[in-house]
Structure 1
Amino acid sequence: MAPPPTQAEQHTQQAQTLFQAGQLPEALIIYRALSEQSPDDANHWLMLGVIYSTLNQLEEAVRCGKKVVTLAPNAVAGHRNLGSFYLRSGQHSNAESAFRTALSLEPGNSINHNNLGIALAARGELEPAIECYRSALQSEPQFGEARHNLANAQQAEFGPDQANADFMLAVQHDPDNIQYLYSLAQNQAHLQRHQDALTTLQTLLLKQPDHADAYLAIADAYNNMGRIQHSITSVRRAAELKPDSTAILLLLGNLLVQHGSPEEAFISFDQALKMDPANVAAQYGRGRSLFQSGRFQEALDVYADVPETNNIGIDIIAARASVLERMGNLDDCLSVLTTEIERGNTGTYLLTAYARLGRKYGHTQYAIELLEANLQKISLDDEQLRVTHFYLGQSYDREKQYDDAFKHYRAANDLRGYNHDATADKAFTLDVIRCHPKTTYDRLPQGPEHTDITPIFIVGMPRSGTTLVEQIISSHNDVFAGDELIFIPEMLDLLDSGQCYPRYIDTLDQSQCDSLATRYLENLAQLAPGYAYVTDKLPANFTYLGLIHRLFPNAPIIHCRRNPVDTCLSCYFQDFSAHHSYAYDLVSLGTHYRQYHAITTHFREQLEIPMLDATYETMVADTETESRKLIQYCGLEWDDQCLKFYESSRRTKTASFDQVRQPIYTQSVQRWRHYEQHLGPLLSALGTLTDEKQS
């Protein structure tokens, strides 16, 4: 018969029970007493160290860990724990030493190899860390943590390409591990494999539905895929899960500004300010949303309240200058900028605002000198470098120094960091054409022929003259300039079809078509109360023309066309505020243009969708004749104000806002000839389209 437990054994058992139940403070009291009664018992000190570490009392944990390895120098667990305590304390060299001792005592132990790799990686020694993780996996091939650590180290050292296979293996080893799934999704996003990232994140959410960061990553994936409303919806869900996060509200606000919903953005920034009234980023965001809404004076008032002593003070001044510029107060704008430059304040966005005024005030060469000096600042991040290169490109172009201009435009685009998925682009084009055969299309249900408000769709490639056409039409007294409305893609994004556009087109029934048409018209009525006509010049609407014509059979469709090389070059030279991944590479631009051409040709020639071609070069050569054609096609009476479009006070949010102040922008015709020697990749990608005057 076993002897009854001693009092010390009873106390030890009690402490272990409390520890296992998570009652750490109570367990700590007993282990302290036991360590005082038996100071040479390494097990008591071992447990004390673990408890102190769990309670985040790391200094005490290290003290206990040292005691353990002194009392039991050959006990692997003691050195392993001490290394972990050092690691959590930021003492990476000491952690490495402790883990090496543990490894020397058990050289074949996979945990010891993994731990040493963690310490080395924390010190930035990634290649030795990678070898440690590989050694751990040789001992235990199914060791998920070591596989995950190996993937992280390879990603940091060699990039996402080298890491992806190991991230996938880590998930295979432990498919329920949330961190492994999240890391895989992040790596897939780095590789621009956004659909794969989305699939991984959706798997993660099935296992942990309240993972706010996963929703943020999903939002990023959707945004990169062009699914705008889904992106915003995902950020809203993250905000619900973390209602106290000003960072998420700021992200939501910035996303809404980026996608042309400034009124909703204002609400998000306002909520962030209620939580943190001193948050300068939220104040700045409020100003941006007011600016985009055309509420320029209110934006100025907001910017005036932001303390200039803050580290973004110069950006606030640049923002104020931009508002004055947009209001047409160019002299005041120049005065603000010149004053700051004379003070030695040369923030990136202040300098770019100054460069924009170079054409009017004749200081382009000085702006170039300032921007070139800005490039030498080691403090610039990639975004500031990119913007500086873009404005140097514009400035050199203005000075007719075309080789220098192209050098900077290329540098700016290279800094974008986006990889356009040309394969997906081509597959989408084939899908659009395949899903719109003539026989099926003619049988699709149709929306109302007569409506209280008439949309005017202006489509085409970006930089093909859509802004010019809208400016002319919207100068008519009966027309409201809607600008680039995202109503069509948003509605289709939310359509509960179980498939992506265009694969559900042949399944649409009359009630769905009526619902889509009604929702769109309600959006227009809310946007432009009292107007009979509203323009929608979202260029990408060309992909939806088949559906648009069925929903609104009598709505005018104006197809803006321009020399394809000029169009692509203008895209390449444009610092788009929204995401156009194809525009940052000459080959991608050429192939994307071919996809656009194939889709519009199919809709015009095979489906016989009526549309008026508005050719940029013809508009420039004979503005009045072409303007009259536009107005007549829209079913409107002629209005002489349509020839004075450059005097219109309406806001322009897109890249062409500076051009609409000029009677006509003739400098853009055959502009590509100045850059012909640099455009070989673009010309090859365009192929036979290069020879067309317009396409």
Structure 2
Amino acid sequence: MKRKPSKAGGRGKMRSSAGNPGLQRAVELFHAGRVAEAAPLVDAAVARNPKDPDALRIKALIILRSGLMLEAQKILDRAHKIDPRNPMMPLDQAVIHKLGGRYPEMIDSCREALKRMPGSRRAEAMLAQAYEGGGMTDQAVRFIEETIAKRGLDAEMGETYANVLELSGRREDALVVVDRLLESSATQPPVRRRLLLHRGRILEKLGRFAESMESFEAGHAVFSVVFDPDEWDRRLDSIIEATDPMSLPEELSEAAGSEVPVFIASLPRSGTSLVERIIGVHPAAHGAGETGLIGDVLRAARPTIGTEPYQGIRDAMPDALEAIRGDYLGRQAGLFGHSSRIVNKHLQNWQFLPIIAACFPKSHVIRIDRAPADVGISIFGQNLPYERMPWATRLDWIGRMIRSHRRFSDAMKDRIPNPWLDLNYSDLVTEPEPVIRSLIEFLGLDWDDRCLEPHRSEQGRGGRRYMPTLSIHQVRQPISRGSLDRAEAFGDLMAPLHRGLAGDA
């Protein structure tokens, strides 16, 4: 569909980028979702002029996509100090609020942006996202429909519109919106991919399973990816072979003996968000989401440990390890404050288990056991980052990864000294209380009844805030058995996943 001409500042583009074609192109790529292509152009712009606030802003937003929140905040602060009147400042802050799960603050920032840039499509779209993220579904629908009546439907607003229609139970209407957006030649490939995957999820809920699978496959076909499961397994084998059985040292420094970090070491879509919220609602705990702290700290330590972290940590001198521990704990406190337990559910935690054990041998590790086929179809139907997780784009590769995760984590369980809990997802959602009581006891925390109602964790004064994940709307519902046996309805369409699980893919 053709877009109406936007008002002044309608797209929220940065002012000085017009005189810098490279930066202007980077802005276009970034907002089209082509972040990997935008990054080198932005780096070049910053290298040419380290005080260009617009280049700094986009650099910070790119870094935010990688989960480096502290570093991104510092760069944004520099940009805002250089150009405090930049009308994009409130939108920058809205992005930070979104990543921190602070939706009321995100709403305020978006409203301020609209005061500075009336009619800005980006500000309007982000305000709609803030309403959606904050659970204000009815308000989101009203705002979006009023906005669309003025300027028509486009992908920026349309994606959120489809989301909130589905959340409102209007699945057929959501499907109409998605199909209209897919018909438009203006819909960019990253958006097209997200829409096709969303379309598949809607069709699944409507009971149209063959069409659902076709839509999932079409979404993953938008971009070509390469993944070699055999090479991946060889890499894991080398880590296993190089990891000798560890025992808990008799003497530990305060940092090494810290039990504050808690690591969920499971694949995506296995129940990690639910478990994080169950723990995070406890008054002595905090849920940190998919924080990339381990990767941040390892990158910062490269001058000491090199670029191969497993070997570097294995060979590191005690003072180097202590510095890494201190860096992790310091960053953790800076981002999430001080709690007795802080839960990190990053999707690579299971791969980092040897490093976690070397740095924090008393930290608690939780592995969630969910039916492989249910995990597989849930992964396949989601917009996971295909650049970092190419294996998530084919059912047979997903099956191989589930198999690899189990084999690797089994090997680590036998080698590391950390307290370890295997939590059965089916038991958790079928009989929550005994499983949750065992979980809280495992973490060494006193019992608190609020852990039985994680869906209420954001409500009321003092409500908790969580980094947004793909499961945000699911975990706001009471614990239920609704997601059990999800894959059965797809029948023989799941055959590629089962081949992968058997190691035949």
Counterpart of 1:545 (choices 341, 353, 371) is: 353
Check whether the contact 1:429–1:598 (CA below 8 A) recurs between aligned residues. no
Report the CA distance shift for 1:359/1:581 in structure 2 as closer, same or farther (over 3 A): same
1:362 CA displacement: 2.5
Counterpart Cα distance in 1 of 2:165 and 2:120: 23
1:632 CA displacement: 0.3
Q: Which residue of 1 aligns with 2:502?
A: 687
Counterpart of 1:618 (choices 427, 433, 441) is: 427
Counterpart Cα distance in 1 of 2:75 and 2:482: 41
1:327 CA displacement: 2.1
1:336 CA displacement: 0.8
Check whether the contact 1:355–1:367 (CA below 8 A) recurs between aligned residues. yes
Counterpart Cα distance in 2 of 1:244 and 1:428: 42
Counterpart code for 2:284: D
Counterpart Cα distance in 1 of 2:504 and 2:260: 34
State the SS of the aligned residue for 2:453.
Answer: helix
Q: Which residue of 2 aligns with 1:629?
A: 438
1:424 CA displacement: 4.5
- What are the superposed Cα offsets for residues 263-287 of structure 1, whole Å, 9 maximum, x if unpaired? 5434544555666789777654432
Counterpart Cα distance in 1 of 2:469 and 2:385: 8
1:372 CA displacement: 0.9
Counterpart of 1:259 (choices 63, 66, 90) is: 66
Q: Which residue of 2 aligns with 1:13?
A: none
Check whether the contact 1:459–1:559 (CA below 8 A) recurs between aligned residues. yes
Counterpart Cα distance in 2 of 1:612 and 1:492: 26
Check whether the contact 1:280–1:306 (CA below 8 A) recurs between aligned residues. yes
Check whether the contact 1:446–1:553 (CA below 8 A) recurs between aligned residues. no
What does 1:174-213 correspond to in 2, within 5 Å? none
Check whether the contact 2:313–2:321 (CA below 8 A) recurs between aligned residues. no
Indicate yes or no: 2:483 matched with 1:675: no
Counterpart code for 2:456: E
Check whether the contact 2:243–2:415 (CA below 8 A) recurs between aligned residues. no
Indicate yes or no: 2:371 matched with 1:563: yes
Q: Which residue of 1 aligns with 2:343?
A: 535
Check whether the contact 1:409–1:572 (CA below 8 A) recurs between aligned residues. yes
Report the CA distance shift for 1:416/1:615 in structure 2 as closer, same or farther (over 3 A): farther
- What are the superposed Cα offsets for residues 282-327 of structure 1, whole Å, 9 maximum, x if unpaired? 6544322222233434432332344599899444323211211222
Indicate yes or no: 2:286 matched with 1:471: no
Counterpart Cα distance in 1 of 2:360 and 2:66: 24
- What are the superposed Cα offsets for residues 198-219 of structure 1, whole Å, 9 maximum, x if unpaired? xxxxxxxxxxxxxx99xx9xxx
Q: Which residue of 2 aligns with 1:658?
A: 473
Greater shift in the superposed pair: 651-660 or 237-246 = 237-246
Q: Which residue of 2 aligns with 1:462?
A: 268
Counterpart Cα distance in 1 of 2:409 and 2:479: 26
Counterpart Cα distance in 1 of 2:199 and 2:118: 25
Report the CA distance shift for 1:240/1:424 in structure 2 as closer, same or farther (over 3 A): farther
Q: Which residue of 1 aligns with 2:13?
A: none
Counterpart code for 1:511: D
1:490 CA displacement: 2.0
Greater shift in the superposed pair: 660-669 or 304-313 = 304-313
Q: Which residue of 2 aligns with 1:392?
A: 199
Counterpart code for 2:326: T
Counterpart code for 2:253: P
Counterpart Cα distance in 2 of 1:305 and 1:667: 40
Q: Which residue of 2 aligns with 1:153?
A: none
1:634 CA displacement: 0.2
Counterpart of 1:514 (choices 322, 333, 337) is: 322
State the SS of the aligned residue for 1:253.
Answer: helix
Counterpart code for 1:673: E
Counterpart code for 2:62: L
Counterpart Cα distance in 2 of 1:262 and 1:665: 33
Counterpart Cα distance in 2 of 1:265 and 1:259: 10
- What are the superposed Cα offsets for residues 151-174 of structure 1, whole Å, 9 maximum, x if unpaired? xxxxxxxxxxxxxxxxxxxxxxxx
State the SS of the aligned residue for 2:306.
Answer: coil
Counterpart Cα distance in 2 of 1:370 and 1:609: 49
Q: Which runs of 5+ in 2 are unaligned?
A: 1-21, 459-464
State the SS of the aligned residue for 1:543.
Answer: coil
1:368 CA displacement: 0.7
State the SS of the aligned residue for 2:264.
Answer: strand
Check whether the contact 1:447–1:517 (CA below 8 A) recurs between aligned residues. no
State the SS of the aligned residue for 1:535.
Answer: strand
Normalising by structure 1, what TM-score?
0.60
Bigger RCO (CA 8 Å, 6+ sep)? 2
Check whether the contact 2:137–2:168 (CA below 8 A) recurs between aligned residues. no
Counterpart Cα distance in 2 of 1:451 and 1:238: 44
Check whether the contact 1:453–1:534 (CA below 8 A) recurs between aligned residues. no
Counterpart code for 1:417: S
Counterpart Cα distance in 1 of 2:248 and 2:418: 14
Counterpart Cα distance in 2 of 1:586 and 1:445: 46
State the SS of the aligned residue for 1:504.
Answer: helix
1:665 CA displacement: 4.6
Report the CA distance shift for 1:588/1:311 in structure 2 as closer, same or farther (over 3 A): farther
Indicate yes or no: 2:179 matched with 1:364: no
What does 1:496-511 correspond to in 2, within 5 Å? 496-511=304-319
Report the CA distance shift for 1:388/1:312 in structure 2 as closer, same or farther (over 3 A): farther
Counterpart Cα distance in 2 of 1:550 and 1:387: 39
Q: Which residue of 2 aligns with 1:645?
A: 454
State the SS of the aligned residue for 1:415.
Answer: coil
Counterpart Cα distance in 2 of 1:342 and 1:412: 29
1:637 CA displacement: 0.9
Report the CA distance shift for 1:547/1:444 in structure 2 as closer, same or farther (over 3 A): farther
Indicate yes or no: 2:280 matched with 1:480: no
Report the CA distance shift for 1:680/1:251 in structure 2 as closer, same or farther (over 3 A): farther
Indicate yes or no: 2:153 matched with 1:346: yes
Q: Which residue of 2 aligns with 1:425?
A: 232
State the SS of the aligned residue for 2:310.
Answer: coil
Report the CA distance shift for 1:576/1:309 in structure 2 as closer, same or farther (over 3 A): farther
Counterpart Cα distance in 2 of 1:359 and 1:384: 18
1:502 CA displacement: 1.8
Counterpart Cα distance in 1 of 2:468 and 2:431: 26
What does 1:594-605 correspond to in 2, within 5 Å? 594-605=403-414
Counterpart code for 1:498: G
1:361 CA displacement: 2.3
Normalising by structure 2, what TM-score?
0.81
Q: Which residue of 1 aligns with 2:253?
A: 448
- Matched length: 464
1:588 CA displacement: 2.4
1:617 CA displacement: 1.3
Counterpart code for 1:253: A
Counterpart code for 1:621: T
State the SS of the aligned residue for 2:286.
Answer: strand
State the SS of the aligned residue for 1:557.
Answer: strand
State the SS of the aligned residue for 1:667.
Answer: coil
Counterpart Cα distance in 2 of 1:521 and 1:436: 24
- What are the superposed Cα offsets for residues 559-602 of structure 1, whole Å, 9 maximum, x if unpaired? 12211222122111111368422212223222222322221011
Check whether the contact 1:474–1:480 (CA below 8 A) recurs between aligned residues. yes
- What are the superposed Cα offsets for residues 11-36 of structure 1, whole Å, 9 maximum, x if unpaired? xxxxxxxxxxxxxxxxxxxxxxxxxx
Greater shift in the superposed pair: 266-275 or 554-563 = 266-275
1:513 CA displacement: 2.3
Report the CA distance shift for 1:530/1:310 in structure 2 as closer, same or farther (over 3 A): closer
Counterpart Cα distance in 1 of 2:286 and 2:363: 15
1:380 CA displacement: 1.5
Counterpart Cα distance in 2 of 1:437 and 1:689: 29
Percent identity between the aligned chains? 22
Structure having the higher helix fraction is 1
Check whether the contact 2:268–2:347 (CA below 8 A) recurs between aligned residues. yes
Counterpart Cα distance in 2 of 1:682 and 1:651: 32
Report the CA distance shift for 1:529/1:250 in structure 2 as closer, same or farther (over 3 A): closer
- What are the superposed Cα offsets for residues 487-519 of structure 1, whole Å, 9 maximum, x if unpaired? 222222333223513223431232222222222
Check whether the contact 1:292–1:653 (CA below 8 A) recurs between aligned residues. yes
